[in-house]
Amino acid sequence: MPPAAAPPHHAEIVALCRTLLAAVFLAAVFSKVREWSALRAVLRFLAPGLASTVHTVFAVVLLGAEGALAGLLIVGFSADIVLAGVTGFLAVATLGLGVLRMRGYEGGCACFGERSARGTVGWPDLLRNGMLMAVAVAALLLVVAGGAGTPPLWTFPFPQMTACAAVTAGAVLSYAMIDGIMAVRGARKTAASADAAGTANA
C-alpha cells in the first residue's frame, strides 16, 4: 500500500513556520548590517587572537549564511536539510550567546533588535533563540515524520499566505515593541545607576 498522504494543514503549518523563520533571519541580517560595529565587537571578544580581517570575513560569511537560509526557507528546496541547518545554526548561535553571558560581555549581541545591539546579553536572547529552535524542530518533524509538502511559499493560495504574513508580522512587531521597551528601561536604569554613583562620589 502507498504511504498515507500528510494532512493538508501540515503543509500550511510548515509554511507558517518557514515564513516566520525566514522573516527573523532577514531581520537579523538587517540588524547586523545596521549594527556592524556591535557585531565586530562581539567577534573580537569571542576570538581576540584573530586578525581584524578575519573578523570581517567571518561577519560577512555569517550574514551570507543567514540570508541564504532565509532564501531557502522561502523557496522550500530540500526543506528537511534546510530546517536541520536552521536548527543547527540557532543552536550554535545560542551557545555563542551563552558564552558571552558567562564571560560577562557587557555589549549587545547585535543579533536581532535594538536591545540586542545596545544592551547586555541576557535570558531574553536565550529564550528567543530557544523558541525559534522549537519552531524549526516542529517544522522539521512535520516534514520528515509527517510527510508535509514544502512548495515555494508564493505558490500557496492567497488566503493562506495572507494568514502566514499576518501572523509573522504580528510576532515580529510584538517582539520589536517589547525589545524597544526593554531597551528604554535598560537605558534609564543605566542612567539612574550612573547618577547614583556620581552623587555618591560627589
- Which of 23, 26, 3, 17 lies closest to 150 in space, CA to CA? 17
d(CA 109, CA 162): 32
Average the pLDDT over 109-133 and give the result.
76
Q: pLDDT value at position 47? A: 87
Q: pLDDT value at position 3? A: 47
Q: Is the pLDDT of residue 134 over 50?
A: yes
Bigger pLDDT: 141 vs 198: 141
Q: pLDDT value at position 8? A: 58
Q: pLDDT value at position 70? A: 94
C-alpha cell recorded at residue 1: 500500500
Are the C-beta atoms of residues 93 and 111 closer than 8 Å to each other?
yes
C-alpha cell recorded at residue 191: 542612567
What are the residue ranges spanned by the domains of the chain? 8-201
C-alpha cell recorded at residue 133: 529552535
Average the pLDDT over 140-158 and give the result.
78
d(CA 74, CA 154): 8
Residue 9 burial (CB count, 10 A): 11
Q: pLDDT value at position 1? A: 39
Cα angle 17, 18, 22; round to 5: 120
Q: pLDDT value at position 136? A: 93
Q: pLDDT value at position 14? A: 86
Are the C-beta atoms of residues 105 and 121 closer than 8 Å to each other?
yes
pLDDT tens for 39-92 read: 888 888 888 888 889 999 999 999 999 999 999 999 988 888 999 999 999 999
Residue ranges in the chain assigned as alpha helix (H): 8-34, 36-46, 52-75, 79-102, 114-118, 123-144, 158-201
d(CA 34, CA 187): 19
For 19, residues 6+ apart whose C-beta sits below 8 A from its C-beta are: 73, 153, 164, 165, 167, 168
pTM given for the model = 0.78
Q: How confident is residue 177, by pLDDT bands cut at 50, 70 and 90?
A: low
Looking up cell 544592551 gives 119
C-alpha cell recorded at residue 33: 548590517
Lowest-confidence pick of 44-53, 61-70, 110-119, 162-171: 110-119
C-alpha cell recorded at residue 118: 545596545
Q: How confident is residue 195, by pLDDT bands cut at 50, 70 and 90?
A: low
Average pLDDT, the chain: 79
Lowest-confidence pick of 16-20, 131-135, 161-165, 173-177: 173-177
Q: Is the pLDDT of residue 187 over 80?
A: no
